[in-house]
Amino acid sequence: MRAASLLLASMLAAACGPRGGRATADPEGPGYPTVLADPASLEGDFAAEQEVRMTHPRGENVFRAVLQKQGDELLLLGLAPHGGRAFLLRQRGDEVSFESYMPFELPFPPEYILHDVHRTWFLGLPSGERSALRDGERVQEETDAEGRVVERRFERLDGRPQGTIVVRFAGGLAPGAPLRAAPPDEVVFDNGWYGYQATIRTLSWQPLP
């Protein structure tokens, strides 16, 4: 259990910012300035099992998670390498709760984990739009001939944090996915703000009634 916890701690710290502190680009920066969407505003319900491979300056880690959206609730269940629960992250409206089954505290606010989830799946542009200014950011999307999103980019207008977050969808993200349609088999989330990359493989997906 201790080995599993250390592995998860390393992965989460890399995913959400510098170990031992809040994920800020500088002492006066805004942290991770994502505006989380209210789950109730997202049309469609689903559950997906995923494998996530994190690549960061300290190495590489792999873990599995279950992501579920149903009604006004978004759940992310992190699984330890032995298959048991590592943590349960829940969002209802703008409220986030966190239950940890690990013998340590996270070195950052747990909601930071949700920021990458929302940017990957829920913070796209309305159909037909390719660029927009939103919440202090420039958001851009590239689509293929069938209207599927193949790349999504986020850049802060004030440069805090500097860099660009780029999300690439292998084969394209179909309209409505993952809420009402199956997501791509693989997505690469390249965080130029904090210097890590996540490769997300969807192992299974199903709509929920």
Please give the structure tokens belonging to residue 66: 């279950």
Torsion of CA 51, 140, 111, 192, to 10 degrees: 70
Of 49, 63, 80, the residue nearest 15 (C-alpha):
63
Q: How many domains does the chain have?
A: 1
Q: What percent of the chain has pLDDT over 90?
A: 63
Q: What is the mean pLDDT of the segment spanning 141-159?
A: 95
Kindly provide the b/e burial profile for residues 75-101, where b requires at least 16 CB atoms within 10 angstroms of the residue's own CB.
Answer: bbbbbbbeeeebbbbbbeeeebeeebe
Contact 15, 195 (CB under 8 A): no
For 148, which DSSP code?
-
Q: Which amino acid is at 98?
A: F
φ, ψ of residue 28 in degrees (nearest 5): -105, 10
Instruction: Give the torsion sign (CA, 136, 191, 32, 150).
Output: positive
CA distances from 63 to 50, 79, 85 (A): 9, 7, 11
Q: For residue 113, give the 3-state DSSP assignment.
A: helix
Structural domain that includes position 174: 2-207
Greater pLDDT, 18 or 34: 34
The 8-class DSSP code of residue 41 comes to G
Q: Where is average pLDDT lowest: 1-5, 9-13, 95-99, 168-172? A: 1-5
**Distances from the Cα of 18 to the Cα of 1, 8, 10, 26, 27, angstroms:** 24, 15, 10, 11, 12
**How would residue 18 be classed by pLDDT, with cut points 50, 70 and 90?**
very low
- State the CATH number of the domain containing residue 56: 2.50.20
Question: What's CA 130's distance to the chain center, in Å?
Answer: 21
Q: Is the confidence at residue 25, as pLDDT, over 70?
A: no
Cβ 192 vs Cβ 166: under 8 Å:
yes
Q: How confident is the model at residue 61 (pLDDT cuts 50, 70, 90)?
A: confident
pLDDT at residue 23 in the model: 34
Q: Tokens at residue 51, please?
A: 């494998």
Residue range 159-166: mean pLDDT, rounded: 94
Give the DSSP per-residue string, 72-83.
TEEEEEEE-TTS
